[in-house]
Amino acid sequence: MSLGSLSSQKEILAMECVGISLKSLSRPILLVGMVFCLVSFYINDYLLPLGAVHYRRISREIFTVMPSLELEPYSVKFIDNRVVITTDVDENQFGPILIIENGSHNERTLMMSPSGHFENHPDKLGNFSIMMDDAELHRVDNRNRQAQTYTKADLFSMNFLFSSIEGMSKLSPREIRTFDLIKEIREKEEAFEEEVVRWEEKLAVAKEEYEKAVVEAEEEGLDDKTIEKREKEVERQEERVDKLVQSPPRNRTLETWRMEYYQKFAIPFSCFPFVLIAFPLGVVSRRSGRAVGFLMGLFLAFLYWAFLIMGRNLTMRSGLSPFLSIWMANILLTIVGSILYFRKIRG
């Protein structure tokens, strides 16, 4: 927009007339792009994680004082494998409440109470409880509907972790610093390498059994029934090998963390190719310099994020390299920007 405005007002033409070349004019602009890269990286790698940590700390302090801010009146909350349905909530007290819990053994438990209160446990880091008065518990086995349990209690305590509440969970890879992210990735890579080794061992055993079955099927002097049986064994072993070859181990969590790592650098660096493209496009003389520049900048930003989202989807669906999926947009913008830039300053 700035370059378009200068160009439409003939300021760039005036600079060229007094001997200031486009190459000289582009240097401070490209320097600004590099400064934007560094500032953006600082914000992305330091301020964002710092803000996320403080946000969770403050949220936990607020929830400790007044849980009703999170468990609002007449609301439905999903906490871990539980659904909490509230009615009246006033500070630490609540009215009728219903909790539905899906157990790990195909069990579903309904817990109802006419009243109760919230209780925090400062001595137990990260714990809080929903204390239900005159509670009723109805447990049903999903595999056997006839197996049901009904229980009543004067006081029933349902314990939760702060980390199970949305917004208070563990920091995501986008919200931690680069060095911590590298450490987490290395740990996940070590675990994944063990999985790859196990897969390679299974594949080696399958190939040996396949070759053994082929040798046995080619023995001479066998009757038709034995030959047919051994041919079926060869086919079965071949299918087993093909299945292992076509399904190598993948760790989607590791791929996600790698993408977040590359994105730590890719998004700040994108400032430079954007500036690189802005210079040759902005110096072209036009009447509505700023308006056209704004629309062009909006289009380029949309195109960049479209490539970024498409690359992430390709990585998760088809196993595209995380580096390529994240840096693809930057690479294309840099190539296009370099071509336009050098053509302009040479022209």
Which of 164, 189, 220 finishes a domain? 164
Please check whether residue 94 is in contact with residue 115, taking contact to mean a CB–CB distance below 8 angstroms.
yes
**Number of Cβ within a 10 Å radius of residue 232:** 12
Per the domain annotation, does 63 fall within a domain? no
Among 48-52, 89-93, 194-198, the range scoring the smallest mean pLDDT is 89-93
Residue-level pLDDT at 347: 65
Per the domain annotation, does 203 fall within a domain? yes
- Of 230, 234, 256, 235, the C-alpha closest to 313 is 256
- Shared domain check, 298 and 319: yes
**269/262 Cα distance (integer angstroms):** 11
User: Mean pLDDT across the chain, nearest whole number?
Assistant: 83
Say if residue 27's pLDDT is above 90.
no
Which pair of structure tokens corresponds to residue 13?
Answer: 């033409």
- Shared domain check, 225 and 157: no
Per the domain annotation, does 142 fall within a domain? yes
Say if residue 288's pLDDT is above 60.
no
Q: Which residues pair with 112 in a beta bridge?
A: 98, 136
- Shared domain check, 159 and 94: yes
Q: What percent of the chain has pLDDT over 90?
A: 13
User: By residue range, what is the domain housing residue 84?
Assistant: 71-164
Say if residue 119's pLDDT is above 60.
yes
Per the structure, how many domains does the chain have?
3
Please check whether residue 221 is in contact with residue 167, taking contact to mean a CB–CB distance below 8 angstroms.
no
- Shared domain check, 259 and 227: no
Residue-level pLDDT at 269: 92
Per the domain annotation, does 331 fall within a domain? yes
**343/346 Cα distance (integer angstroms):** 5
- Shared domain check, 118 and 160: yes
User: What's 146's DSSP letter?
Assistant: T
Q: What percent of the chain has pLDDT over 70?
A: 89
Which of 142, 164, 186 finishes a domain? 164
**268/273 Cα distance (integer angstroms):** 10
User: What's 347's DSSP letter?
Assistant: -
H or E segment at 317? helix 289-318
Per the domain annotation, does 61 fall within a domain? no
**248/320 Cα distance (integer angstroms):** 14
